[in-house]
Amino acid sequence: MRIPILGFHCHNITQIQEGILENQLSRGEFYNFPLEDLASLRKALDEHNLFRSIHAPLIKPEWYPDPPTWSFLCDVEPEHRNLTFKMITETIDYAEEIGAEHIVVHFPIPCTDARDEPESELEDIAWKSCEMLAELSESAEPMIHIEGLGNSPYLNNGFLMRALKQYPLRYCFDTGHMNLAAHMNQFDLYEFAAEVAPFVGSVHLWNNRGPEDYLKFRHIPVHPHQNSAEGWADIERLLRILKPSYPVIIESPTRYPEALGDYDYRDGIRWIRDILEE
């Protein structure tokens, strides 16, 4: 059975077949495609009548890092911020062209553990970034969802909730990054989920047991064997807190790391489907 809100994150054409179609999904989130693949992407979306969203950038800019990392949305250097907003504006144009429902962009605050600037200056930059994102979201059809990252202490210090209450933005609850943030900044993941739930517009699903997993394996597919007592995020508990009626995107590779066990990522997708059906 297809669950309309459940989809797969794709950053190349082959993942549409392997991640979406072979798992009998009807939704995709598309990210960082080479420009030469745009026509093939449009054709696949229309041919398979897929629901669609975008993680900025849709088309990879020349300056975008490889492997990709978080963007320069709130970098203290103005030229870096200008690059990022140019990327987001271009992505909005593509979103309207392909009929995307929303665009995910990274959380607008610098990584303060790598900065020497005063905290007040960083937060001021973040507020200005929120204002600019809100203006873009209001002027374009696709809603902008901001996604939190594990290395930002501003997720749980009140800044995020104030921003979501003040601006017409939704939150992309990323289970992997939120679990990292909870480990690194020592807050309760499930209390955070309950607080932010009214403002969530989409979910990214992947998992880890903390920073070491992330550095070694990056995005680990969710799987029912992952035990929260070992540090994994309790995915079922999070979904029951969030009660999503909005897009839930599997944001992981189509292979489970061999070093972590002989598991099939598709079992995780079937597990998530069962939870959502309930």
Q: What is the pLDDT of residues 182-195, one digit of tens each?
A: 998 899 999 999 99
Of the pLDDT bands very low, low, confident and very high (cuts 50, 70, 90), residue 121 is confident
Report the C-alpha gap between 126 and 123 in whole angstroms: 5
Per-residue confidence (pLDDT) for residue 138, from 0 to 100: 86
Report the C-alpha gap between 182 and 189 in whole angstroms: 6
What CATH number should be reported for the domain holding residue 25? 3.20.20.150
The tens digit of pLDDT for each residue in 57-92 reads 999 999 888 767 666 787 888 888 899 999 999 999
The tens digit of pLDDT for each residue in 20-46 reads 999 999 999 999 999 999 999 999 999
11, 31 Cβ separation under 8 angstroms: yes
Instruction: Give a yes or no: residue 230 inside a domain.
Output: yes
Per-residue confidence (pLDDT) for residue 214, from 0 to 100: 94
150, 214 Cβ separation under 8 angstroms: yes
Report the C-alpha gap between 100 and 98 in whole angstroms: 6
Structure tokens at 168: 């017409």
The number of distinct structural domains making up the chain is 1
Instruction: Give a yes or no: residue 1 inside a domain.
Output: no
Report the C-alpha gap between 57 and 185 in whole angstroms: 28
Domain residues for 175? 6-277
Instruction: Give a yes or no: residue 153 inside a domain.
Output: yes
* Mean pLDDT, all residues of the chain: 92
Helices 235-242/189-196 angle, 10° precision: 20
Per-residue confidence (pLDDT) for residue 18, from 0 to 100: 97
Instruction: Give a yes or no: residue 202 inside a domain.
Output: yes
Instruction: Give a yes or no: residue 200 inside a domain.
Output: yes
Instruction: Give a yes or no: residue 106 inside a domain.
Output: yes
Report the C-alpha gap between 162 and 248 in whole angstroms: 24
Instruction: Give a yes or no: residue 11 inside a domain.
Output: yes
Instruction: Give a yes or no: residue 221 inside a domain.
Output: yes
Report the C-alpha gap between 268 and 225 in whole angstroms: 9
Count how many Cα atoms sit within 13 Å of the Cα of residue 117 in the half-sphere of its side chain: 16
